[in-house]
Amino acid sequence: MKAPLVVGDITRATAALAVPEAEPDARPLSEGTWHGPGAPASRRRFRWTAVLWALLYPPRGHRVYPTVSGIILISLAMGIGTAAYNTANNILFITLALLLSCLILSGVLSWMNLSRIAWRFRLEPSLRSGQETVVALEVRNAKRLIPTYGLQFEVVADGRPGPADSLFLRERLDPEGGRVSLERPWRPERRGRVRVELARVTSLFPFGFLRKSFPGDLSVEAIVWPAPVSYQLFPVLSSARPYAGKPVERVGQSGDLHALRRYASGDSHRLIHWKASARSRQWLVRQFSSENQDGFSLWIDPSRDLWPRPEQFELLVGLVATLAEDLFKQGRLGRVIIGAEPARLIRRLQDVEALLDRLAVLEPEEAPGHAEVPARTRSRSMLVFAPDGARGVAAYLDGQKAATA
């Protein structure tokens, strides 16, 4: 017969377990794969013939063109060359040779400056329309001996200058895996899917006479959530409470213990059953029985007949997103129904994020508008959205106005 565990045994047992770390409030930046000449997938065996061929016949999209100072240098070289030819002066020929050598050396060094360079985007997964975010471009130097200087990255969003017109590498990027993160603020203008692309990569190194560039060949797609809107809340919603019944045999947050299960990412530390975790040598959390309570439901009819004005439909999407987040924080959101789609149960933060992803790409549909809520989704705690005048949007609870924007 085993002796019962005491406080010291529980302490030693819990110390042997890996304490789960609390999840941060904000989701981390999403990282993509490396692109560019220094990416692992694009590395090839070094051959001098390939190098000479690339110098003589650059690949498609690679450009070398002079800057303003380069044009002045070329004009000066042409003038000195003409004078040297007419006068047969050796000093002028030597000067012409030095100027042409500077141009050739500038082109070769700029080509070496761009070789074995890789980059990737890092975007915050939760982008909001109208709110400032950070676009980060991580750059890595895979060359063994030569550092990298003076790179310029042109970034566009949906074909327009977006997160930043240009990102500049102003410091030295050391060889052997040196990295730097270039960050610029960006404010998305509209909700929906947005494609952020690296249009071109340019090098002005070393003298700034020539500008060598080639396509960035990198794009990422992000979802921009609707912008939060300010709304007026009426007493019918602030004082209303969802119908609550007796506890039932399913997982919930009431006071009756239902079962124990293994710890999962996102569970609160307060739910950990320390004694049971010490006995089983694994983290176990408590599950409580749920009450017969569904919370408030939101029903959205996205038909074009009901929302003929685009600006009014955008206000509807913003109001639904803002109201859903506020009700979820208060623990009063049960489900959301969009048109004829299946009901979305809102139980976790991931469910709210999935709802915001759906609202970000929601567009008016051609289906005729519903005169009333379908019988299969009708309930006394359901919020129904309808136009409020020519520009406003209102939410109704059991026929009474509950919120307006």
Let me know whether 82 and 190 are in one domain.
yes
Pick from 238, 153, 166: which is nearest to 201 by CA?
A: 153
From 102-111, 281-290, 300-309, 312-321, the region with the lowest mean pLDDT: 281-290
- Identify whether 243 is part of a domain: no
Question: Binning pLDDT at 50, 70 and 90, where does residue 355 land?
Answer: very high
Q: What pLDDT score was predicted for residue 290?
A: 46
Let me know whether 120 and 52 are in one domain.
yes
Q: What pLDDT score was predicted for residue 27?
A: 43
CATH of the domain at 55: 2.60.40.10
Q: What pLDDT score was predicted for residue 373?
A: 52
Tell me if 169 sits within 8 A of 181, measured CB to CB: no
Q: What pLDDT score was predicted for residue 393?
A: 92
Domain edge (last residue) among 193, 225, 257: 225
Let me know whether 56 and 171 are in one domain.
yes
| Token pair belonging to 372 | 């009333």
First-residue to last-residue Cα distance in the chain: 68
Let me know whether 99 and 153 are in one domain.
yes
Q: What pLDDT score was predicted for residue 31?
A: 55
Q: What pLDDT score was predicted for residue 296?
A: 85
**pTM beyond 0.75:** no
Q: What pLDDT score was predicted for residue 380?
A: 65
User: For residue range 81-103, what is the model confidence (pLDDT) as tens digits?
Assistant: 899 889 888 899 998 898 888 88
Pick from 166, 184, 203: which is nearest to 122 by CA?
A: 184
| Pairing label, strands 178-186, 133-141 | antiparallel
Q: What pLDDT score was predicted for residue 244?
A: 46
Query: Is the pLDDT at 25 greater than 60, yes or no?
Result: no
What percent of the chain lies above the pLDDT cut of 90? 12
Local structure of 147: helix, strand or coil? coil
- Identify whether 8 is part of a domain: no
From 166-175, 194-203, 251-260, the region with the lowest mean pLDDT: 251-260
The backbone torsions φ and ψ at residue 93, rounded to the nearest 5 degrees and listed phi first, read -65, -40
Question: Binning pLDDT at 50, 70 and 90, where does residue 115 land?
Answer: confident
Mean pLDDT of all residues in 322-331: 89
Q: What pLDDT score was predicted for residue 242?
A: 55
Question: Binning pLDDT at 50, 70 and 90, where does residue 359 land?
Answer: very high
- Identify whether 179 is part of a domain: yes
Return the HEC string of 320-386: HHHHHHHHHHCCCEEEEEECCCCCEECCCHHHHHHHHHHHHCCCCECCCCCCCCCHHHCCCCEEEEE
Compute the distance between CA of residue 278 and CA of residue 13 in angstroms, rounded to an integer: 5
Q: What pLDDT score was predicted for residue 113?
A: 84
Query: Is the pLDDT at 161 greater than 80, yes or no?
Result: no
Let me know whether 271 and 371 are in one domain.
no
Mean pLDDT of all residues in 124-132: 82
Let me know whether 199 and 332 are in one domain.
no
Q: What pLDDT score was predicted for residue 6?
A: 37
- Identify whether 4 is part of a domain: no
- Identify whether 22 is part of a domain: no
Query: Is the pLDDT at 288 greater than 70, yes or no?
Result: no
Compute the distance between CA of residue 37 and CA of residue 114 in angstroms, rounded to an integer: 8
Compute the distance between CA of residue 405 and CA of residue 394 in angstroms, rounded to an integer: 6
Residue 4: is the preceding peptide bond cis (ω within 30°)?
A: no
From 125-129, 140-144, 172-176, 395-399, the region with the lowest mean pLDDT: 125-129
Compute the distance between CA of residue 239 and CA of residue 219 in angstroms, rounded to an integer: 48
Let me know whether 189 and 54 are in one domain.
yes
Which residue spans within 158-304 are E strands per DSSP? 160-161, 167-169, 178-186, 192-203, 210-225, 232-233, 247-262, 284-291, 296-300
Tell me if 172 sits within 8 A of 146, measured CB to CB: no
Q: CB within 8 A of 271, min separation 6: which ones?
A: 285, 286
Compute the distance between CA of residue 175 and CA of residue 178 in angstroms, rounded to an integer: 6
Query: Is the pLDDT at 174 greater than 60, yes or no?
Result: yes
Return the HEC string of 263-310: CCCCCCHHHECHHHHHHHCCCEEEEEEEECCCCEEEEECCECCCCCCH
- Identify whether 2 is part of a domain: no
Let me know whether 278 and 306 are in one domain.
no
Local structure of 165: helix, strand or coil? coil
Query: Is the pLDDT at 247 greater than 50, yes or no?
Result: no
Compute the distance between CA of residue 296 and CA of residue 384 in angstroms, rounded to an integer: 11
Let me know whether 276 and 298 are in one domain.
no
Let me know whether 195 and 257 are in one domain.
no
Q: Considering only residues 325 and 64, tell me which one the structure prediction assigns the higher pLDDT.
A: 325
- Identify whether 65 is part of a domain: yes
Compute the distance between CA of residue 222 and CA of residue 17 in angstroms, rounded to an integer: 38
Number of domains, the chain = 3
Compute the distance between CA of residue 340 and CA of residue 374 in angstroms, rounded to an integer: 9
Range of the domain at 325: 232-236+294-404
Let me know whether 309 and 217 are in one domain.
no
- Identify whether 266 is part of a domain: yes
Q: Please, what is the average pLDDT of the chain? A: 77
Q: What pLDDT score was predicted for residue 195?
A: 86
Let me know whether 302 and 174 are in one domain.
no
Q: What pLDDT score was predicted for residue 45?
A: 66
User: For residue range 4-15, what is the model confidence (pLDDT) as tens digits?
Assistant: 333 333 333 333
